[in-house]
Amino acid sequence: MTAEIQAPRMEACDRCRATGAEPGSGSTTCPTCNGRGQILYQQSFLSVRRTCHTCNGSGQIVRNPCRQCHGQGYRQVVRKLKVNIPAGVDDGNRLRLSQEGQPGANGGPAGDLYVVLKVKEHAFYERRGNDLHCTIPVNVGQAALGADIEVPTLEEPYRLKIPEGTQNGAQFRLRHLGVPPVNGGGRGDIFVHIEVQVPSKLTREQRKLLEQLRDTLPVENQPAEKSLLGKVRDYFM
């Protein structure tokens, strides 16, 4: 896909041609360093030369600062750039835009602009590497009898057949429907986690049906053996 970004950068001021001086006003010798660009500091036996900070070492100061750039010689412009985002990029991936960075000194070529990508949180998919995970709720009837459910993917929806007796927490793996790899390798998978929802509100009829169902089901209220706890069946599609 293509994204439009706003990239600020400094560009040479066209009014003063990067001199910082109002056109026609010229410059004058720096009074701090008398045009030498450096200042000599005497410290006991040592003498140290430092760059003059009034003129930044140029020896000249601007008589009238340019009105457009306030004497900076450069001004910030925000440019709109179209950036090609390859499929499968992840948080922290960097894209390099050649010569879209800050201009070089004295008219040299501009540097490069690096765009660091941040992937937006998805409403229901969680990304782990190139795999995508989502949780899909099913009702008790669908879990017990099996059902056809529709799983949204990056392309068209996938019809997932969940079998009779699907337990809460069951996991279905849809191979190669995850995130395409950016640097070669295989495409990731989609993992569908099933969440069986027990109804919390019942109509009179539903209550009657569930009561009938309850009376036909075996009653097994012994604590489960530890090895069975948390046992989740995985399905591979």
Cα→Cα distances 54→17, 23, 29, 44, Å: 21, 21, 11, 25
Residue length, the chain?
237
69 binds Zn ion (CB under 5 A): yes
153 binds Zn ion (CB under 5 A): no
CA gap 99, 169 in Å, rounded: 51
* Site stretch for Zn ion (CB under 5 A), options 47-55, 80-88, 91-99, 219-227: 47-55
Q: Is 45 helix (H, G, I), strand (E, B) or coil?
A: coil
62 binds Zn ion (CB under 5 A): no
* Site stretch for Zn ion (CB under 5 A), options 8-16, 113-121, 144-152, 223-231: 8-16
187 contacts: CB under 8 Å, gap ≥ 6: 130, 176, 177, 178, 179, 180, 181
To Zn ion, the closest distance from the beta carbon of 63 in angstroms equals: 14
Chain positions 178 to 197 lying near Zn ion, rule: CB under 5 A, are none
Best CA proximity match to 70, nearest among 16, 139, 28 = 16
CA gap 106, 32 in Å, rounded: 25
55 binds Zn ion (CB under 5 A): yes
Cα→Cα distances 9→12, 113, 176, 224, 228, Å: 10, 10, 41, 65, 62
13 binds Zn ion (CB under 5 A): yes
* Site stretch for Zn ion (CB under 5 A), options 16-24, 109-117, 166-174, 208-216: 16-24
27 binds Zn ion (CB under 5 A): no
170 binds Zn ion (CB under 5 A): no
Best CA proximity match to 158, nearest among 140, 142, 168, 172 = 172
Q: Which two tokens stand for residue 190?
A: 């989609």
Q: Which is nearer to Zn ion, 60 or 130 (CB)?
A: 60
Binds Zn ion by CB under 5 A, chosen from 25, 27, 54, 130 = 54
Q: Which is nearer to Zn ion, 16 or 162 (CB)?
A: 16
32 binds Zn ion (CB under 5 A): yes
Q: Which is nearer to Zn ion, 13 or 160 (CB)?
A: 13
Contacts to Zn ion by CB under 5 A: 13, 15-16, 30, 32-33, 52, 54-55, 66, 68-69
